[in-house]
Amino acid sequence: MSRPRDPNGGDRTGQREGVPAGAATSAVPAGPGLLLPRTALLSARGWTAVAAALLVMVLGVPVAHLVVPEGHALHLSAHHVGLFGKILCYAICALAMDLIWGYAGILSLGHGLFFALGGYAMGMYLMREIGSDGQYRMPMPDFMVFLNWKEFPWHWAFSDSFAFQMAMVVVVPGLLAFVFGFFAFRSRIKGVYFSIITQALTFAAMLLFFRNETGFGGNNGFTDFKRILGVPLNTPQMRVFLCVLSGVVLVGFFLIGRALVHSRFGRVLQAVRDAESRVMFSGYDPVAYKLAIWTISAVMCGVAGALYVPQVGIINPSEMSPAASIEIAIWAAVGGRGTLVGPIVGAFFVNGAKSWFTAAAPEVWLFFLGALFIAVTLFLPRGLVGLWELAMARVTGRGAAEPPPAPVAPAQPSASGASSTASAAPSATAAPGAAAPREAKGQVA
Amino acid sequence: MTPDLMREGAARRAAYEARRASMPPRAARGGFGRPLQHLEPVFTQGVALYVEDVTVSFDGFKALNALSLTVNAGELRCIIGPNGAGKTTMMDCITGKTRPDSGKLTFGSNIDLLRLNEPEIATAGIGRKFQKPTVYERLTVLDNLAMSLAGPRSVRASLFGHQNGAESARLDELLTLIELKPAAFREAGTLSHGQKQWLEIGMLLAQDPKLLLLDEPVAGMTDEETERTAELFLSLEGRHSLVVVEHDMKFVGTLAGQHRKVTVLHEGSVLAEGRLADVQADERVVEVYLGR
Q: How many domains does chain A divide into? A: 2
Residues of A in contact with B130 (CB under 8 A): 277-278
Do A297 and A398 lie in a common domain? no
Do A395 and A305 lie in a common domain? no
Residue A219 lies in a domain: yes
> CA A341 → CA A97, A257, A375, B172, distances in Å?
12, 11, 20, 33
Q: Does any CB of chain B come closer than 8 Å to the CB of residue A405?
A: yes
Residue A354 lies in a domain: no
Residues A203 and B137: their CA atoms lie apart, in Å, by 36
Residue A69 or residue A113, greater confidence? A113
Residues of A in contact with B171 (CB under 8 A): 35
Residues of B in contact with A430 (CB under 8 A): 186, 190
Pick the range with the lowest mean pLDDT from A15-29, A313-327, B105-119: A15-29
Nearest residue to A90 (alpha-carbon basis) of A314, A287, A324: A324
Contact A427 B135 (CB under 8 A): no
Compute the radius of gyration of chain B from its Cα atoms: 21
Contact A35 B172 (CB under 8 A): yes
- Residue from the list B122, B160, B187 with its beta carbon closest to the beta carbon of A283: B122
Above 80 in pLDDT, residue A225?
Answer: yes
Structural domain of residue A82, as residue ranges? 77-322
The pLDDT assigned to B291 comes to: 58
Above 50 in pLDDT, residue A175?
Answer: yes
> Which of A:104-163 have CB within 8 Å of B?
none
Tell me the residue type at A161.
S
- In tens, the pLDDT along A329-352 reads 999 999 999 899 999 999 999 999
Residues A231 and A240: their CA atoms lie apart, in Å, by 13
- Residue from the list B119, B128, B136 with its beta carbon closest to the beta carbon of A271: B136
- What does the pLDDT average to over A148-175? 93
Residue A410 lies in a domain: no
Q: Does any CB of chain B come closer than 8 Å to the CB of residue A425?
A: no
- Residue from the list B143, B182, B190 with its beta carbon closest to the beta carbon of A29: B182
Q: Note the helical H segments in B66-125.
A: 87-94, 118-124
Nearest residue to A241 (alpha-carbon basis) of A90, A84, A119, A355: A84
The answer to whether A301 touches A96, Cβ cutoff 8 Å, is yes
Residues of B in contact with A281 (CB under 8 A): 95, 118, 122, 127-128
| In chain B, where the domains are located | 39-135+209-290
Domain termination site, one of A322, A346, A364 = A322
Range A14-46 burial, b when 16+ CB lie within 10 A, else e: beebbebbbbbbbbbebeeeebeeeeeebbeeb
Do A287 and A400 lie in a common domain? no
Residue A364 phi, psi dihedral angles, 5° rounding: -90, -20
> CA B79 → CA A217, B158, B216, distances in Å?
68, 37, 10
Residues of A in contact with B128 (CB under 8 A): 281
The pLDDT assigned to A87 comes to: 96
The pLDDT assigned to B20 comes to: 75
Kindly provide the residue ranges of all beta strands, DSSP E only, lying in chain B, ordered along the sequence: 47-58, 61-72, 76-80, 102-107, 111-112, 126-129, 211-215, 241-245, 261-266, 269-275
Residues B219 and B216: their CA atoms lie apart, in Å, by 6
Contact B207 A278 (CB under 8 A): no
Contact B185 A431 (CB under 8 A): yes
Q: Is the dihedral of CA A410, A411, A415, A416 positive or negative?
A: negative
Q: Does any CB of chain B come closer than 8 Å to the CB of residue A178?
A: no
- Chain-centre distance for alpha carbon A207: 27
Residue A218 lies in a domain: yes
Do A310 and A394 lie in a common domain? no
The pLDDT assigned to A428 comes to: 37
The set of residues, in sequence order, having a beta carbon less than 8 Å from that of A204 and lying 6+ positions away, is none
The pLDDT assigned to B82 comes to: 85
The pLDDT assigned to A283 comes to: 92
pLDDT tier at A21, thresholds 50, 70, 90: very low
Alpha-carbon gap: B51 to the closest alpha carbon of chain A (Å): 19
Above 60 in pLDDT, residue A419?
Answer: no
Q: From B126, which residue of chain A is nearest by alpha-carbon distance?
A: A281
pLDDT > 70: percent of chain A? 80
Pick the range with the lowest mean pLDDT from A178-187, A409-418, B186-195, B266-275: A409-418
| Strand-strand pairing, B111-112 and A227-228 | unpaired
> CA B245 → CA A260, A299, B130, B213, distances in Å?
39, 47, 10, 8
H and E: helices and strands count for chain A: 19, 4
The pLDDT assigned to A405 comes to: 38
| A48: exposed, middle or buried (Cβ count in 10 Å: 0-12, 13-18, 19+) | exposed
Fold exhibited by the domain B39-135+209-290:
Rossmann fold (3.40.50)
Domain termination site, one of A293, A322, A351 = A322
- What does the pLDDT average to over A138-143? 88
pLDDT tens, N- to C-terminus, chain B (292 residues): 688 888 998 998 898 888 877 776 655 555 556 677 788 898 888 899 999 999 999 988 889 999 999 999 999 999 998 888 889 999 999 999 999 999 999 999 899 999 999 999 999 999 999 888 899 999 999 999 999 998 888 898 888 887 788 888 899 999 998 889 999 999 999 999 889 999 999 999 999 999 999 999 988 888 888 999 999 999 999 889 999 998 888 899 999 988 899 999 999 999 999 999 898 888 888 888 765 4
- What does the pLDDT average to over A85-110? 96
The pLDDT assigned to B219 comes to: 84
The pLDDT assigned to B165 comes to: 82
Q: In 10 A of CB A52, how many CB atoms?
A: 11
Q: Does any CB of chain B come closer than 8 Å to the CB of residue A182?
A: no
The answer to whether B107 touches B41, Cβ cutoff 8 Å, is yes
A vs B: CB pairs below 8 A:
123
Q: Does any CB of chain B come closer than 8 Å to the CB of residue A2?
A: no
Beta bridge partners of B71: B49
Do A294 and A394 lie in a common domain? no
Enter the DSSP assignment of A66.
Answer: I
Enter the DSSP assignment of A212.
Answer: G
The average confidence (pLDDT) of chain A is 82
Residues A304 and B19: their CA atoms lie apart, in Å, by 46
